[in-house]
């Protein structure tokens, strides 16, 4: 039994990712990553919204950024790395969730892409993030050590 919430088994995934007692800490971790991504891409991208409902829907992606006619719908998630499928599942969840926005941006003459930005709860880096960052000429290895500390908060 979890010593903090007294409700669930005290497994590592529970303590790191699910225990309600720690929800404020996850929010901070999540927000720190969002802030870091905004800071990293904003010299090259226009930030259209951050944590706001978009296109008249109830969908609230962490970041919507625009470069020319391209729109990136970025949502940060920190899945627990317990299973080898954790990142794939997180990726698919985010794509499914924000897919309804794609035709709405298309109707505005923009090409939208959903970008799940995945950093494992234990700090592991999802290599798919690099594909997104490279479009901004950002490379993970170019990050300073303090940037990497944020990604592993
Ligand atoms: Zn608990």
SS (H, E, C) the chain: CCCCCCCCCCCHHHHHHHCHHHHHHHHHHHHHHHHHHHHHHCCCCEEEEECCCCCCCCCCCCEEEEECCEEEEEEEECCCCCCCCHHHHHHHHHHHHHHHHHHHHHCCCCEEEEEEEEECCCCCECCHHHHHHHCCCCCHHHCCHHHHHHHCC
What's the 123 CA to ligand 1 centre distance in angstroms?
20
What's the 29 CA to ligand 1 centre distance in angstroms?
18
The pLDDT tens digits of the residues spanning 113-150 come to 999 999 998 888 898 998 998 888 776 644 544 554 44
The pLDDT tens digits of the residues spanning 79-111 come to 988 888 999 999 999 999 999 999 999 999 999
What's the 3 CA to ligand 1 centre distance in angstroms?
7
């Amino acid at each position: 039994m979890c010593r903090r919430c007294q409700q669930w088994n005290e497994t590592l995934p529970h303590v790191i990712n699910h225990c309600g007692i720690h929800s404020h800490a996850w929010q901070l971790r999540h927000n720190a990553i969002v802030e870091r991504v905004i800071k990293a891409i904003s010299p090259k991208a226009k930030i259209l919204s951050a944590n706001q409902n978009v296109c008249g829907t109830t969908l609230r992606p962490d970041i919507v950024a625009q470069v020319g006619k391209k729109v990136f719908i970025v949502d940060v998630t920190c899945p627990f790395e317990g299973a080898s499928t954790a990142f794939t599942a997180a990726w698919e969840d985010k794509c499914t969730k924000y897919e309804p926005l794609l035709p709405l941006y298309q109707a505005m003459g923009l090409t939208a892409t959903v970008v799940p930005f995945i950093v494992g709860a234990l700090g592991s880096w999802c290599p798919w993030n690099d594909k997104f960052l490279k479009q901004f000429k950002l490379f993970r290895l170019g990050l300073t050590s303090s940037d990497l500390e944020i990604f592993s908060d």
